[in-house]
């Protein structure tokens, strides 16, 4: 039986420091995040927030491989422990990673919740920019971009995470989800001017995905070099006997709420079907990396992709088949694993978008990032008679992702939204109610002074006794408002809370 797809998104943002000779992105990221934390602590940006604190690295194991072995020469990511690293009261983690500010949303129980917390993350970055720019010397400014490439061969990630049943064989996940990852970019690609994999602007003037150029392997542990379509990091941040966390590194950061919703929603359903072994037809690509890039380079969506059995398919055909299976899966098993109501919305949107991509992709310019960006840039190019190699088009591309409200192009192209303002506002400081992030966030709000450190699967309290007390949270669906809301409410100290919980 497929399990609830607890999920979340971690985004590394592009960062520019203006008005200085030599940019130091690590220092700039630290200034950015510290300025936000200071402001929150002072009751400014998000009044009502409790204190924030350091991350606990006790359980981090980024070098553990889901295949059960680590291939020779494979490079495991390093953990950077000395940089700014905080837990927010909404249950998120906000830190400096690889010379970028990164924000990981709290664990969410469904795709819609992920969209709300992803938008809240953007707001937090915006407030961070404002806070940092208030303390920087005149003439200096930090600007944040929610994209995945600098157009010069350097990429940074927007990763997704999905909780899966440990009993599902990893090999089946690899074979069954790869076709989805190669083809889902037709609705969740963020679009990019030009190519960073050696082709000219005549050959690839514009492509669907930000990230496709940077993938070189089918399966592997790396995340910064020779990036694989399937990442094998086996770090469940939960009971390792029962769960795995599929760490997805192939997505683009989306500005469109609908694109984020469909990216996470469709993937959650595909993974649930894999758990139930409900995907009978295997699309085994003859050359997966070539297929990935072919899909990204083909705006007609009609490019034949070679399968290993000698036949061909297209990105649209693969997506239609996955959608049809998902619809059958919903009829047979229901969609409790992704939230029944949200699941129905995912299916309806998935069908609508595939139908649109098939008949008139450009009519999806208010829903799909690559289409919105392409229309804007093509319109500008046409109006001014520019070649695709003109830098003004690259500038438009970057500015689509600019998080400054007065500069952002993505906020001017009329993208539809699915979240309302008040829920985004709340999600900047309040955790989701229906995962363990509730316990983490509410404890921080209420007993922040008595918490020494936190991470995804534990909290460490100092209640004034001789020893510190670690509360493990190995079940991502426990510690919800339904489970601990009343105990949290009635406890007046951390010691009392731990007593009531029997910790």
How many chain residues touch another protein (CB under 8 A)?
A: 62
Stretch that binds another protein, among 251-259, 284-292, 409-417, 447-455 (CB under 8 A): 409-417
- Other beta carbons within 10 Å of 363: 13
DSSP 263: H
Min separation Cβ 158 and another protein, Å? 9
Stretch that binds another protein, among 44-52, 299-307, 459-467, 479-487 (CB under 8 A): 299-307
Quickly list DSSP for 181-220.
HHHTHHHH---EES-SSS--TTT-SEES-SSGGGEEEEEE
Stretch that binds another protein, among 234-242, 300-308, 423-431, 456-464 (CB under 8 A): 300-308
List the one residue out of 188, 172, 124, 126 whose CA is nearest residue 353: 188
97 among known catalytic residues: yes
List the one residue out of 202, 206, 208, 203 whose CA is nearest residue 194: 206
d(CA 131, CA 135): 7
106: its two tokens? 């709290």
- Other beta carbons within 10 Å of 358: 13
Q: 206 or 461, CB closer to another protein?
A: 206
Stretch that binds another protein, among 168-176, 263-271, 392-400, 462-470 (CB under 8 A): 392-400
By CB under 8 A, the residues from 46 to 75 that bind another protein are none
Min separation Cβ 365 and another protein, Å? 5
- Residue 405 and residue 127 in contact, taking contact as beta carbons nearer than 8 Å: no
Is 492 a binder of another protein (CB under 8 A)? Answer: no
Stretch that binds another protein, among 9-17, 179-187, 237-245, 470-478 (CB under 8 A): 9-17
Question: Going residue by residue from 335 to 374, which x/- string records binding to another protein, judged by CB under 8 A?
Answer: ----------------x---x--xxxxxx-xx-------x
d(CA 298, CA 304): 10
Is 97 a binder of another protein (CB under 8 A)? Answer: yes
Is 15 a binder of another protein (CB under 8 A)? Answer: yes
List the one residue out of 139, 2, 108 whose CA is nearest residue 342: 108
Is 392 a binder of another protein (CB under 8 A)? Answer: yes
Q: 159 or 263, CB closer to another protein?
A: 159
3-state helix, strand, coil in the chain (%, to 5): 40, 15, 40
Is 123 a binder of another protein (CB under 8 A)? Answer: no
Tell which one of 19, 44, 79, 154 touches another protein (CB under 8 A): 154
Is 305 a binder of another protein (CB under 8 A)? Answer: no
Is 485 a binder of another protein (CB under 8 A)? Answer: no
41 CB-near residues (< 8 Å, 6+ apart): 49, 51, 52
Min separation Cβ 350 and another protein, Å? 12
- Residue 446 and residue 488 in contact, taking contact as beta carbons nearer than 8 Å: yes
Give the H or E element holding residue 251.
none
DSSP 13: P
Q: 175 or 224, CB closer to another protein?
A: 224
* SS3 call for 11: strand
Is 330 a binder of another protein (CB under 8 A)? Answer: no
Q: Beta strand 141-145 with 14-18: parallel, antiparallel or unpaired?
A: antiparallel
Give the H or E element holding residue 161.
strand 158-165
**Alpha helices, DSSP H, located in 244-285:** 257-275
Stretch that binds another protein, among 165-173, 256-264, 293-301, 431-439 (CB under 8 A): 293-301
Is 224 a binder of another protein (CB under 8 A)? Answer: yes
Is 159 a binder of another protein (CB under 8 A)? Answer: yes
d(CA 430, CA 89): 6
Give the H or E element holding residue 416.
none
Min separation Cβ 358 and another protein, Å? 6
Give the H or E element holding residue 495.
helix 494-501
Is 262 a binder of another protein (CB under 8 A)? Answer: no
Tell which one of 250, 376, 437, 484 touches another protein (CB under 8 A): 376
Question: Going residue by residue from 162 to 201, which x/- string records binding to another protein, judged by CB under 8 A?
Answer: ----------------------------------------
CA angle 446, 239, 114 (to 5 degrees): 60
d(CA 77, CA 58): 16
Among the listed residues 97, 298, 345, 402, the single catalytic one is 97
Q: Known catalytic residues?
A: 97
State the residues that interact with another protein by CB under 8 A.
12, 14-16, 23, 25, 77, 97-100, 149-152, 154-157, 159, 223-224, 249, 299-302, 314, 316-317, 320, 351, 355, 358-363, 365-366, 374-376, 378-380, 382-383, 391-392, 394-396, 398-399, 406-407, 409, 412-414
């Amino acid at each position: 039986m497929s399990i609830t797809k607890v999920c979340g998104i971690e985004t590394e943002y592009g960062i520019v420091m203006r008005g200085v000779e030599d940019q130091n992105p690590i220092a700039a990221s630290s200034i950015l995040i510290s300025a936000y934390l200071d402001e929150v602590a002072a009751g400014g940006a998000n009044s009502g927030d409790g204190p924030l604190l350091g991350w606990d690295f006790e359980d981090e194991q980024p070098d553990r491989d889901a295949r059960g072995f680590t291939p020779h020469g494979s490079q495991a990511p390093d953990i950077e422990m000395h940089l700014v690293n905080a837990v927010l009261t909404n249950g998120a983690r906000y830190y400096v990673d690889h010379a970028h500010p990164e924000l990981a949303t709290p664990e969410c129980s469904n795709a819609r919740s992920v969209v709300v917390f992803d938008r809240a993350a953007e707001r937090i970055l915006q407030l961070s920019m404002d806070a940092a720019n208030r303390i920087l010397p005149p003439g200096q400014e930090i600007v944040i971009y929610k994209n995945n490439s600098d157009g010069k061969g350097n990429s940074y990630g927007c990763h997704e995470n999905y909780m899966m049943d440990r009993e599902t064989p990893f090999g089946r996940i690899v074979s069954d989800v790869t076709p989805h990852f190669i083809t889902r970019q037709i609705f969740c690609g963020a679009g990019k001017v030009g190519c960073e994999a050696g082709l000219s602007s005549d050959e690839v003037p514009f492509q669907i995905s930000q990230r496709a150029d940077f993938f070189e392997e089918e399966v592997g542990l790396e995340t910064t070099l020779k990036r694989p379509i399937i990442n094998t990091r086996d770090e469940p941040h939960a009971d390792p006997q029962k769960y795995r966390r599929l760490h997805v590194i192939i997505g683009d950061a989306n500005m469109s709420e609908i694109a984020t919703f469909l990216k996470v929603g469709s993937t959650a359903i595909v993974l649930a079907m894999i758990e139930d072994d409900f995907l009978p037809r295997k699309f085994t690509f003859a050359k997966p990396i070539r297929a990935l890039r072919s899909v990204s380079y083909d705006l007609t969506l009609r490019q034949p992709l070679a399968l290993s059995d000698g036949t061909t398919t297209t990105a649209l055909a693969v997506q239609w088949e996955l959608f049809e299976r998902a619809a059958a899966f919903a009829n047979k098993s229901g969609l409790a694993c992704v939230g029944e109501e949200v699941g129905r919305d995912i299916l309806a949107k998935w069908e609508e978008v595939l139908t649109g991509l098939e008949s008139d992709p450009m009519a999806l310019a208010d829903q799909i990032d690559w289409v919105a960006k392409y229309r804007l840039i093509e319109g500008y190019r046409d109006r001014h008679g520019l070649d695709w190699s003109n830098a003004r088009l690259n500038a438009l591309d970057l500015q689509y992702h600019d998080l400054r409200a007065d500069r952002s192009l993505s906020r001017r192209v009329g993208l539809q939204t699915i979240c309302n303002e008040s829920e985004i506002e709340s999600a900047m400081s309040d955790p989701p109610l229906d995962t363990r992030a509730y316990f983490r966030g509410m404890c921080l709000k209420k007993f922040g002074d008595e918490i020494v450190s936190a991470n995804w699967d534990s909290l460490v309290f100092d209640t004034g006794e001789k020893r510190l007390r670690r509360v493990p949270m190995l079940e991502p669906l426990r510690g919800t408002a339904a489970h601990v809301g009343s105990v949290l409410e009635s406890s007046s100290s951390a010691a009392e809370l731990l007593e009531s919980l029997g910790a």
